[in-house]
A and B are shown apart, each in its own frame.
Chain A
Amino acid sequence: MNTRNFIKLEILLITSILAFCSIVYELLLSNTLAIVTGNYIWWQSLTIGVYIGGLGIGAYYSNRLKNTYKSLINIELGLSFLGAICVVYVYIFHGTYKYIDNLFFYTGDFYSSFYLQNMFLLKIVFFIGIQGLTLLIGLLSGFEIPLMMRIAEERLGHSEEGEHQVLGINYLGTLVGTICFAYFLLPKLDVIKTSVVVALLNLLVGIYCLVKFAKSKRRVYAGFIAAVFVMISLIGINEQSITQRYLKFFYYLPKILSQNNTDLDDLIRRVDSFKPIERSKSLYQYVDIFTYPTTEDNKVVDSTILTLDTNFQFNTSTEFYYHQAFAHVSIIMNKKVPKKILLLGGGDGLLLRELLKYKEIESIKHIELDQKMIDLAKTRFAELNKHSLDDPRVHSEINDGFYYVRNTSDRYDAIFIDFPYPNSYDLARLYSLEFYTYVRRALNPDGFVVLDAPFYNKEDYTKNKYQGRAVLTQVFNERHVISNSVVASTFYYAGFKSFFPYRVSDESFLFLKVEPGAIDYNFMDSADLSKLEPQTIREMKEIKNQEFPYTVALKYVNSIFKPMVVKKNEF
């Protein structure tokens, strides 16, 4: 190979590695932010936007960099540093944000610390702090292509083709980065290890450029490189403890706040004293399991909580409310026990446990997306769900619920839908006109559908709540009405003309039938309540008095072709 070709190869190789590193940093930031905040659409699109904006500014001002080679070395060292710290930075910043926010709005129970974040000013600070880092990484990455184009021009002479080749190879590096991240780095290494590995790669490029091009100040650079290397190694070695500290802080925050002490050393000691969070990553989501002490009839009981992508799923000591209301209230309302049931979601097997109490039920087809959930239900939660997944009447299948109803020719007497709330476009698909139309098709004519969906009633949202250090007045407002209307209208236009919403404890459910006027609202009078716990029965008495305001109109319909997402107002 002659020198010219070697130089060309060298330039293209460096460009592609740099592009790879940069896009991985961006993906790391957007994914970490999406997970910690729970607001996917907003953070993922904003992060990619700010990153690309940074690239633009970098490309625009790159001609201000006078010394090409020196600038490149500086940028690589800088990027390596920022890339290595980016995940840890998000953890620390988000943890601090949560802590300060909760100081003002601490409510004493587990749920509140997740749902009550109200300080606008704090949100702004959080936003600028986080996206400042994204912009900086984008900016430094934006310098890279023009610098590489300049190096190509200086070393190989001017050619437009060279310019286009640098651009092209940069795109290829970005593609490899995107695919590697989605299929290899994130599932195999998780976020912190990924940041360490990629930062090291970036540092190597920096060292190569230094050895190859730098003429002076080699000592100073060697010092910098050593410092960055030590920092990257420290992050890599302490990966476990960093993740654990953050997760503990995240989940046990209400407990931490309930002990009145703001000394920082003491805070860290207290965080470390909690039991570790078991985090695992499935193909689709993070599954976190941890023990949480709750007060029940003045006794402190250790209960286990499971979250998916940090969204609360169930608490072992309170889940019976939810699953009993789900299974029994709907069957009582229907006045007839269905024989053939379809259950979509609910991989934990807890709803199955309740359904299997009916001898009349002949078969339950169970569709779950995530194998991980089924595995957990068969091992860790097998006691809790009374081995419901091993019951001969239950036929479990790993499949996408939407695909299943779209392609099945089976018909069911009842369909139970237990999906996460529609807070992303991906999940909104499972609350769409198209999905419910297929659900209706899979239903026998007098069958019913019941699902757990966000639906708001007036009573629950107009109370003054005394919350630790603050009194919070929640107001039932227009947003709740719109959210209700989206759900209700989508059902109506999918062909479900009878519609009954009910709330038990903190959960709202919807009971649906195709025929208009098919619901007898006095179902409680002649109900068989033998399968229910006394607490559930107490809560059920309230159902009759609940008022759920909504309007049915075409403009509120959530379609996969025009998605409407019920936005969560949180960071």
Chain B
Amino acid sequence: MDTRSQHLIFDAVSERDFTESDIEAIKKIIETNLTVIKKVEHKFTPQGETIVFILSESHFTIHTYPENRYLSMDIYVCNLETNLEKIMEEIKAVIPFEKIDSRILQRGKIGHREDNRNLNMVYFLTVVVACCSILYEFLLAQSISTTMGNTALRYNLTIGLFIASMGFGALLYKKFISKDYFKEFIKVELILSLVGGVAPILVLIIDYLFNSFSRTSGVSFFSSWVQTPLFTMNHLLIVAIGFLSGLELPLLMDMSKQFKVTKGYFVLAYDYLGTLIGAILFPIVILPSLHIFTIGYVVSLINILVALFVMIKMNIENKKYKFIIWTMLIIWVLLIINSNTVNQLIVEKFYFGGKF
């Protein structure tokens, strides 16, 4: 049994006094849109009325307070298909309302078995995105060490900065993320994919720009006038990715709570698992087998696929996101196919500053 239901809660104040025919019209709308099994009506003295319909879908109730021109109405349907928005619009057309406070609640989630499958999906997503994040960070550590040297220090600093900016992300989560968790998740994934995928190349471009600057202006490359902004810009990339990853974790915790009353630290456990996988795979398998730019493209592609997966799975309709996802998907695939040529061009141009 699918226990997932929709619950429309509708409070409204009318511009004018209700008439008998207003209430009749509302009842008519319910009768035409839904299947009524039983009706109970009661009129209070001196005024006011309560009507309850038992529906095959579930129930409908309305309470009127004519002295306040106020009515309160509930429609509860045990399915996700009925368009409660449409019914609400029809009701709004009957009476000119001055104030409306309405919302549609998603009910019956904890009773629903399929939610366990959705919960597992969230855990799976957690593993994948945690793995992607740590890979982005390792990639950045590696590419910054190609331009700034001292690999061991780079890795230490990167891990430290990554963890700290994740902390900031988690702390500032409420300020950045609205209640529409799945949409927000897709947004975060898109930004991460874009920033993370090109970050290793950006590191090279930043280095190239500072090198050209030092050559043309005569300021030594090793002076703090060059080194300080160079350092800052490179490490801002780490902070950006760490911050976005920091938003991910509480977001995933909240997503899991959509399906089940659960403790956030289960998500935390899966996040650690993903990090573990990334941390082991990177130095032993991934780094020796692919060019670091190509690793960037592949991890970005995985991030985009995660966004696409959530969009399809959660039935999210959003033309803008759909367009961005497919464009990025095509770009990453093209980059991966032509990675050898592209990488060589980038290295020649920005690392060696032309051929020699």
Contacts and interface: CB of A to CB of B under 8 A. Distances in A.
B174 A60 contact: no
A172 interface: yes
Q: Output the residue of A63, A145, A407 with the most chain B CB within 10 A.
A: A407
A244 to B, nearest CB: 26
B246 A400 contact: no
Given A49-B279, A52-B276, A562-B290, A60 B266 contact: yes
A168 B280 contact: no
B290 A142 contact: no
Chain B interface bracket (under 10, 10 to 19, 20 to 34, 35 or more): 35 or more
Interface in A158-192: 160-161, 163-165, 167-172, 174-175, 178-179, 182
A45 B167 CA distance: 22
Contact of B291 (A46, A161, A434, A562): A562
Nearest to A142: B272
Interface stretch (B2-10, B103-111, B141-149, B323-331): B141-149
Contacts of B159: 48, 178
B279 A171 contact: no
B166 interface: yes
Interface in B182-239: 221-222
Contact of B156 (A163, A182, A565): A182
B287 A52 contact: no
B197 to A, nearest CB: 15
A357 B283 CA distance: 44
B347 A426 contact: no
Contact of B145 (A60, A63, A175, A429): A429
Contacts of A174: 160, 163-164, 167
Interface in A33-85: 41-42, 44-46, 48-50, 52-53, 55-57, 59-60, 62-63
A314 interface: no
A167 B351 contact: no
A403 interface: yes
Contacts of B263: 63, 146
A371 interface: no
Contact of A56 (B149, B170, B269, B347): B269
A170 B150 CA distance: 28
Contact of B287 (A56, A163, A425): A425
A49 B280 contact: yes
A175 B276 CA distance: 18
Contact of B163 (A46, A165, A175, A559): A175
A424 B283 CA distance: 10
Interface of B: 142-143, 145-146, 149-153, 156-157, 159-161, 163-164, 166-168, 170-171, 173-174, 221-222, 246, 249-250, 253-254, 263-266, 268-273, 275-276, 279-280, 282-284, 287-288, 290-293, 343, 347, 351-352, 356
11 contacts: A55-B272, A146-B265, A149-B264, A160-B250, A172-B164, A174-B160, A175-B160, A429-B146, A560-B146, A561-B143, A564-B288
